[in-house]
Homo-oligomer: A and B are copies of this chain.
Amino acid sequence: MAGKRADDGAQESIWQRMERPARPPRAALTHAQIAAAAVEIADAEGLDAVSMRRLAERLGVATMGLYRYVRGKDDVIELMVDAVYAEEARAAEGRDWREVLRVSALRLRALMLRHPWLVETTAQAGPLTPNFVARTDRLLASLDGLGLDADTAMTVIGTVTAFVTGATTARIRMARLMRKEGAEKMDDLRTIYSSRMKWLLESGRYPAFERYIREGVRKDDDDWQFELGLESVLDGVAARLTI
């Protein structure tokens, strides 16, 4: 029996066996650990940097070891999405439905800006992750007692959420463009794109757009634009609520 493993097993005695468990003493990962590590990588370097190899390395596990806990990369992304939505687990506060929807919208926006890679997960993550259901549930609860039927209540929430995700996605896209072009502020980006812009405008085919470029003074004030848009949307759904 000793001879059977003489060429590799019997030779590594004590010292070698002592230093091996130091690296992976006993793996025993949890899904929460996997999600947290993946989110850290994505926050720091973008979703593309989250590869199974990188993730495993960060967790001190062999690459294929991850497949013991997830079925594939899509699972990892689903875990990531749910993990960041957990940050929104607190109940939304506010005296009335409008206040609740408003702070919920602002918080969702802040969440997306904190984790911009969320916009790239659209393709993979399903909408039934537990913490997202939790958010929907809380918002639905805030609309209770207004005499809305279930369908209308859900549509109200969906409408506000759609606005928030759409608007924030546009802003993230712009921030990404800035980073790609190496611009610090919007003015830098404008400088970089000035020739392209001039070429577009000189065609004379976009007079209204040109006027906006000349006259707009809050072109970079995303917060102002978002809040104005949000108030408009809330006004719009309010009309549905009081009828």
Contact = CB atoms under 8 A, between A and B. Distances in A.
Interface of A: 119-120, 122-123, 125-128, 130, 133-134, 136-138, 140-141, 144, 149-156, 158-159, 161-167, 169-170, 172-174, 176-177, 193, 196-197, 200, 205-209, 211-212, 214-219, 224-225, 228-229, 231-237, 239-240
Interface centre among A164, A215, A233, A234 (most CB of B within 10 A): A233
Contacts of A209: 133, 136-137, 140
Nearest to A144: B208
Given A119-B122, A126-B173, A165-B170, 19 more contacts: A122-B122, A126-B177, A144-B208, A150-B215, A151-B216, A152-B228, A154-B225, A155-B225, A155-B228, A159-B233, A162-B169, A163-B163, A164-B166, A165-B166, A228-B240, A232-B239, A232-B240, A235-B235, A236-B239
A161 B169 CA distance: 11
Contact of A229 (B140, B155, B170): B155
A149 B219 CA distance: 12
